[in-house]
Amino acid sequence: MSISMQSLPESSRPYERLEHFGEASLSDAELLAILFRSGSSGRSSLELAQEVLRSDVSNKGISFLRDISLEELMGYKGVGKVKAITIKAALEIGKRSMRADPFWKNQSISGPKDAIAIFENELLHLKREEVHVLLLDTRHRVIRRVLVSAGGLSSAGLYPRELFREAIKANASAIVLAHNHPSGDPKPSPDDISTTNSLQKAAFMIGIELVDHIIVGHGSSTSLKEMGIL
């Protein structure tokens, strides 16, 4: 028989804590426990959530759930089809909500941290390499984000005309380039550096500022501007 939430002290119940203190105050395990709703085999939903999160060997935190399949979720003892489907649906809702009304809409890019916050949200969990660009106005406010290519800087055969086409159409004054390293290591490769230098020269010629180039890894990202390459 599973332990119900009602048997826990009120101060330890995720539902009551969210109601009184807001969702941001909850731990990853507490948020997951709310989705589970009930526990299994003598464990509360909170204990079940803690057990699932402890299995993350990648040290990604709760975001590791985005990378596992429905069947893998159902492989956890106590996580049946309904619980697994609920988790995947919640993750997809969060993903779509960010696309529908991006938190970075009209945000100003005043430094690498601003750009990293935007790109990490989109690129961190990709299994393939993608190249994205933020289009900026004269005040470095975000106009929109554009997927330029999939496959990486060199393997995708990225050319300046492809990179700057959308920037010119949007009358952008500046851009921030970004791509991810699925290996998790955000250190720029020699190709990353040489391509960045070529694109910077092309940008200068057409009157668009290349503000930065961000490389997104697992748990950390690199700014080529901070490295002195730009």
**150 and 196 belong to one structural domain:** yes
Q: Report the pLDDT value the prediction gives residue 1, as an integer from 0 to 100.
A: 42
User: Which residue reads 């690199």 in tokens?
Assistant: 222
**Residue, of 60 and 18, whose pLDDT is higher:** 18
Q: Are 39 and 64 in contact (CB under 8 A)?
A: no
Q: Report the pLDDT value the prediction gives residue 225, as an integer from 0 to 100.
A: 94
Q: Report the pLDDT value the prediction gives residue 40, as an integer from 0 to 100.
A: 80
Q: Percentage of the chain surpassing pLDDT 90?
A: 33
**76 and 126 belong to one structural domain:** no
**Torsion sign (Cα): 188, 162, 154, 207:** negative
**128 and 89 belong to one structural domain:** no
**207 and 170 belong to one structural domain:** yes
**80 and 15 belong to one structural domain:** yes
Range of the domain at 150: 112-223
**pLDDT above 50 (res 23):** yes
User: Which residue reads 């040489």 in tokens?
Assistant: 194
pLDDT digits (tens, 9 = 90+) for 143-156: 888 888 876 555 44
Can you tell me the distance from the alpha carbon of 23 to that of 10, in angstroms, rounded to the nearest whole number? 16
**126 and 56 belong to one structural domain:** no
User: Which residue reads 């060199």 in tokens?
Assistant: 154
pLDDT digits (tens, 9 = 90+) for 83-97: 999 999 998 887 776
User: Which residue reads 């500046």 in tokens?
Assistant: 174
**93 and 157 belong to one structural domain:** no
**pLDDT above 50 (res 2):** no
> What average pLDDT does this structure show over 69-80?
91
pLDDT digits (tens, 9 = 90+) for 161-213: 777 888 998 899 999 999 999 888 999 999 899 989 989 998 999 999 999 99
Can you tell me the distance from the alpha carbon of 73 to that of 31, in angstroms, rounded to the nearest whole number? 16
Q: Report the pLDDT value the prediction gives residue 102, as an integer from 0 to 100.
A: 54
Q: Which residues have CB under 8 Å from 18's CB, separation 6+? A: 25, 26, 30, 34
**Residue, of 24 and 6, whose pLDDT is higher:** 24
**92 and 117 belong to one structural domain:** no
Q: Which residues have CB under 8 Å from 225's CB, separation 6+? A: 112, 211, 212, 213
Can you tell me the distance from the alpha carbon of 105 to that of 98, in angstroms, rounded to the nearest whole number? 10
The burial of 119, by beta-carbon neighbours within 10 Å (0-12 exposed, 13-18 middle, 19 or more buried), is given as: buried
DSSP at 166: H
Domain count, the chain: 2
At residue 18, φ and ψ (nearest 5 deg) are -65, -45
Q: Report the pLDDT value the prediction gives residue 79, as an integer from 0 to 100.
A: 92
CB neighbourhood size of 57 (10 A): 7
